[in-house]
Amino acid sequence: MDGMILQELRQTREALLHPASGLVWLLAMVMVVLERPVAEAMPACMLAALLVVLAVVDVKTHTLPNLLNAAVLLLGVMVADIWWQALLAAVAAYAVFQLVALGSRALLRKEGMGQGDVKLFAALGAWVGLMGLPLVALVGSVLALAYILAVRHPRGARLPFGPFLAAGGWLVFLYQYEMWAWLGLRM
């Protein structure tokens, strides 16, 4: 257990030092600070920082560290207007993606989605609430599909879903109501 925690801490440190982490976080921070009040910008910047690190770790190692997923979850519950609704959304998200993971394993006869993705989706549920979860799944999947088509990702090759899920979660956190309106639904 201690070895696993040390490994996750090492992976996190390496991701923090990766040049892409700083650049993406800086762009995210500028984007948020320019259009949001400070009270909204601070949590969004903290979320962006955690998600960037998670994405870099997933790209490099095909794992999403439990410590970082837990940090996203706890921070989401702490900044939520109603903490128990954030926790409920996280539990619902975990249940849904766990069923998706089990279903894909049964259909494909191999792991189609890792437990880190399930936990990240649950953690993002605390940030976007029950109504934002379908959008996170949709945006993350569309981004992953666009990437696969753009780079002609080899069929059957492993693709970390965490970066796409992280991007989808962050975008939905920022623009959930605009997305629902664009889809023709008022939430």
3-state secondary structure string, 2-33? HHHHHHHHHHHHHHHHCHHHHHHHHHHHHHHH
Task: Answer yes or no: is 92 within a domain.
Answer: yes
d(CA 120, CA 182): 26
d(CA 159, CA 112): 10
Task: Answer yes or no: is 99 within a domain.
Answer: yes
Give pLDDT tens digits along the chain (187 positions).
566 666 766 666 666 556 666 666 666 666 666 677 767 778 888 898 899 889 988 988 999 999 999 999 999 999 999 999 999 999 999 999 999 999 988 887 888 789 999 999 999 999 999 999 999 999 999 999 998 888 887 777 788 999 999 999 999 998 898 988 888 877 6
Task: Answer yes or no: is 187 within a domain.
Answer: no
125 near 133, Cβ under 8 Å?
A: yes
Task: Answer yes or no: is 11 within a domain.
Answer: yes
pLDDT at 15: 60
pLDDT at 12: 64
pLDDT at 45: 82
The single residue listed with the structure tokens 């040049």 is 19
Give SS3 for 146.
helix
pLDDT at 112: 77
Give SS3 for 187.
coil
How many independent structural domains does the chain possess? Answer: 1
d(CA 126, CA 109): 31
Task: Answer yes or no: is 117 within a domain.
Answer: yes
Task: Answer yes or no: is 84 within a domain.
Answer: yes
Q: Which domain holds residue 137?
A: 2-182
pLDDT at 166: 96
d(CA 141, CA 164): 7
Task: Answer yes or no: is 155 within a domain.
Answer: yes
**Tokens of residue 157, six digits:** 């090759």
